[in-house]
Amino acid sequence: MKLSTLSTLALIGLCALTPIATACSQDQAPSAVEPSIEVERAWPNLKFKKPLFMTPAGDGNGRLFVIEKEGVIRVFDAKQETTKSNVFLDIRERVSVRGDEEGLLGIAFHPKYKDNGLFYLHYSSSTNDKTGTLSEFRVSKDDVDKADASSERILLEQKQPWRNHNGGMICFGPDGYLYMALGDGGAGGDPQGNGQNLSTLLGTILRIDVNTKDEGLEYGIPKDNPFIEKPKGARPEIWAYGLRNVWRFSFDRKTGDLWAGDVGQNRWEEVDIVTSGGNYGWRAREGFDQFSKKETLDPKEVIEPVAVYGRKEGMSITGGYVYRGKRFPSLQGSYFYGDFVTRNFWRITKQEDGSYKNAIALESTKVVIASFAEDADGELYVLNYAGEIYRVVPKEL
Ligand SMILES: [Ca+2]
């Protein structure tokens, strides 16, 4: 996972050792606490082993798929009384979990999965050490609850200089292209300066076309990607950059906005709305602050976060979703996210004047927030790293 106890301690250690003494101070007003949600077990009979994501396949079959960190995908019927899940795919021998943040990190079903049976995985490779792998797989011909493990087609491999900061999320956008988050390469403080370097895919969200193949590639580059023409040497896959380690991002089902949670270094966890060609500041910036002594950015070049929170409130952001389900009108249109370490939940609501209000919606739950997830109807869930899946519901007043 992103942060084990050990790496949390390492992070605190880094903070204490930083040459900028004030870097650990808490000079930002804490988030308001406005309890508005609760969590309840969604499938009381189901438990998973380090679940990292859940999604429907988009085929209308009423099933949900959960990826487990070590390399297993499980499938189950989304009915409340479900008592068991089945193994859809087991690629544990291909997945490295040597690093805390390595594993099977992301899954995305092709928008036409119902017709073509294709889905995509992002995992840390065990055969190519320290390599993030994006692969295509296919469901088996004779069983909708079994994937064909032999169908793997590798689309992209990204060398990871360190085992941490591997990003994770993969997701199809409303435009039909696949988006993928890759962290800055790891260690701490982005020692290679990857965040501001457009010639590497590290520290970015990228956007590719899985339905075509450009020359020398196993995928196509969408013609309107922002860095196709310039600057020289820029990777054409990049959609946005200056991101330290986006673990989870999502698209608002109504507006198409891409919301990302970017995990911070010493001081700030941040929420960004990510747009084409956007520079989100890392490592020149962390949150709204200057971070690097080596790099500075003209404020005009940087897209500022929508919201940040400091170290007293959390240490590792897990990006969530704008709620667009039907069941709970009071949650409608708000973005919900959380922190893996403190297990706080936040709610961001857009105000009439266009500004965003950020408040803690639920404090210090027992849920170690590995990921949020949506079902086919846009109802919101949260995955406990310890194994259970919870539904996010309004607080009863
Ligand atoms: Ca930023």
List the CATH number of the domain containing 257. Answer: 2.120.10.30
Average pLDDT of the residues of the chain: 93
Please give the pLDDT value at position 295: 92
Q: What DSSP state is assigned to residue 395?
A: P
Residue 23, domain member (yes or no): no
Q: What is the pLDDT of residues 274-314, one digit of tens each?
A: 999 999 999 999 999 999 999 999 999 999 999 999 999 99
Distance CA 283, CA 290 (A): 8
Tell me the three state secondary structure of residue 168: coil
Ligand 1: distance of its center to the CA of 191 in Å?
17
Please give the pLDDT value at position 28: 65
Ligand 1: distance of its center to the CA of 280 in Å?
4
Domain that includes residue 152, residue range = 5-18+43-324+371-387
Ligand 1: distance of its center to the CA of 282 in Å?
5
Ligand 1: distance of its center to the CA of 355 in Å?
18
* CB 69, CB 82: distance < 8 Å: no
Q: Beta partners for 393?
A: 38
Please give the pLDDT value at position 157: 98
Q: What is the pLDDT of residues 7-53, one digit of tens each?
A: 443 343 333 333 333 333 345 679 999 999 999 999 999 999 999 99
Residue 347, domain member (yes or no): no
Distance CA 339, CA 307 (A): 13
**Total number of domains constituting the chain:** 1
Residue 74, domain member (yes or no): yes
Please give the pLDDT value at position 27: 52
Ligand 1: distance of its center to the CA of 126 in Å?
31
Residue 278, domain member (yes or no): yes
Residue 150, domain member (yes or no): yes
Helices (H), the chain: 5-17, 113-116
Residue 266, domain member (yes or no): yes
Ligand 1: distance of its center to the CA of 111 in Å?
30
Residue 244, domain member (yes or no): yes
Residue 50, domain member (yes or no): yes
Distance CA 208, CA 156 (A): 10
Q: What is the mean pLDDT of residues 341-354?
A: 97
Please give the pLDDT value at position 306: 97
Residue written as tokens 């060609």?
A: 277
H or E element at residue 7: helix 5-17
Distance CA 394, CA 37 (A): 4
pLDDT tier at 4 (50, 70, 90 boundaries)? Answer: very low
Distinct helix (H) and strand (E) counts, the chain? 2, 27
